[in-house]
Chains A and B, each alone.
Chain A
């Protein structure tokens, strides 16, 4: 998972606004959907067509493309009384399902619910259900802009405030994993593991990273020994470690 935020948009006016304000550049013409991203690849825009099934496809494609940490769907409607509001409830009567998208407790934006049957709710529902297959609920957001305000209101600036709140909440997903993965990769270069041994290794290293000095882990991993011995030594080392709450 990268630190990318993917915006999925079906409204061309909105897409134009986002591209301009987030300084996004077109990536390639050869994909099913137009994809734009910034230089750092921290923001990515995927333009979908209006039909719900296209939104499902665009959301799925967008996830496979960048493995984002957050996904946000933005649409426009005359139904939005505010310049911009988040979606806090979706009542999809066709599917007989209700969705309650996550709203950050510090979020200052107004929020409202949407009920089907209408085209907007069908689109929102298509996005939400698909995105929830890839990300936790807390990493998905939906916003509706008032159709009359897109041009004279910097809505992406406001949306980004909410995105930053969500990004802060989701940071732990990115922590500690790189260190563990670095060790796992290193071990895999020098040893062969069965699936079971790999699970064991992951568990032991996870503990080792917290409780053993880096140098001791490094020393343990060096050498041309049988995999079983490596795991036993690691386990033994952890058993012998002192545990203090200093």
Chain B
């Protein structure tokens, strides 16, 4: 990154200053609002993905939002927040590539306002536990060295044990977590696809084996681990591929450390799918036989059910079924 676009209302924010310090060679260009630079009709996600820049902005509204129904890992009150938009990785199944026309990274550096919004939600549901999901529109940890997100939020959740935080990440940059005692209310969750698929679909993501090793160390240190088999990706030999994946996961990560496993099929809203296919017309995953159902592109119902059924059964060989969740947030809108 050689440019930082900085919202004028963040000019004097100390976190913006810190980020600038960490990128000493980047030129700072001021803007009134991040939307002047981000997600314009005339931008191309695929091209920008090869040359992304950083935008530092302030999030003013909708800092914390309820998750769609049927999305959760056992809690009744589920919310998500995004301190960043876009991800340093380039997974071909990711909805971000169809969501935004720009691949620049937007960092909402007003973390304090996120905490205020989170506190409000916790108070609303007190004394019941509330789950907060981070990493919905970004990877929670991928740019952590730059943003200092983790350190700031750990402190808050350490003091608020009735609130749970899921950090969704594919990063192996876990040093900040390893440096401090594990917290039972912070779940480090990662999506996995079989090794062979990962190598072809999850571009720029750390190697499968390295990720398994990293999460194994995290589990040993006592951190609760979330395994996300989401999305399930089809192959004629999916049974073989997913058997190997599940075996690999449980041979690296102690099952007692696994907080939850969620399973979700591959689904794209119709418009999003068309946009992504236009960006990557020759991609193997996107040109798979996806069919249109309820304004969504997905595998046929029979393939989807076959895969979910198989993977659930396979997981039950290793873990109690009450730790397995089926993520089907689209059921509502269908």
Contacts and interface: CB of A to CB of B under 8 A. Distances in A.
Nearest to B284: A210
B287 A210 contact: yes
B51 A106 contact: yes
A208 B288 CA distance: 10
A226 interface: no
Interface string A83-122: 0000011000000001010111111000101000000000
A94 to B, nearest CB: 17
Contact of A136 (B3, B36, B47, B282): B47
Contact of B282 (A107, A135, A175): A175
Contact of A138 (B2, B48, B283, B288): B48
A172 interface: yes
Contact of B196 (A132, A175, A207, A246): A246
B284 A136 contact: no
Interface residues of A, number: 38
Contacts of B234: 243
Interface stretch (B25-33, B90-98, B107-115, B306-314): B25-33
Nearest to B33: A98
Contacts of A107: 2
B2 A103 contact: yes
A100 B236 contact: no
A29 interface: no
Interface string B13-46: 0000000000000010101100011001011101
Q: Name the prevailing secondary structure of the B interface residues.
A: loop
B236 A88 contact: no
B235 A170 contact: no
A207 B287 contact: yes
Contact of A111 (B27, B36, B288): B27
Interface string A133-148: 0011111000000000
Interface string B253-297: 000000000000000000000000100011110011100000000
Interface string B228-245: 000000111100010000
B1 interface: yes
Contacts of A217: none
Contacts of B36: 98, 100
B63 to A, nearest CB: 25
A211 B285 CA distance: 10
A177 B40 CA distance: 25
Interface in A157-172: 169-170, 172
Interface residues of B, number: 38
A103 B27 CA distance: 11
B116 interface: no
A114 B56 CA distance: 21
A244 interface: yes
B68 interface: no
A89 B282 contact: no
Interface string B211-248: 00000000000000000000000111100010000000
B103 to A, nearest CB: 10
Nearest to A179: B282
B3 A137 contact: no
A209 interface: yes
Contacts of B3: 88, 103, 105, 111
A104 B49 CA distance: 11
Contacts of B44: 136-138
Contact of A180 (B1, B42, B281): B281
Given A100-B5, A105-B51, A137-B43, A245 B29 contact: no
Nearest to B40: A137
B200 interface: yes
Contact of B47 (A98, A170, A180, A244): A170
10 contacts: A88-B29, A100-B37, A103-B3, A136-B42, A136-B44, A137-B43, A206-B282, A207-B287, A243-B236, A244-B237
Given A103-B53, A210-B282, 10 more contacts: A100-B31, A100-B36, A102-B48, A105-B2, A111-B27, A139-B47, A169-B51, A180-B281, A207-B287, A245-B197
The 7 A-B residue pairs whose C-beta atoms are closest, nearest first, are A136-B44, A207-B287, A138-B47, A176-B282, A132-B42, A105-B51, A210-B287
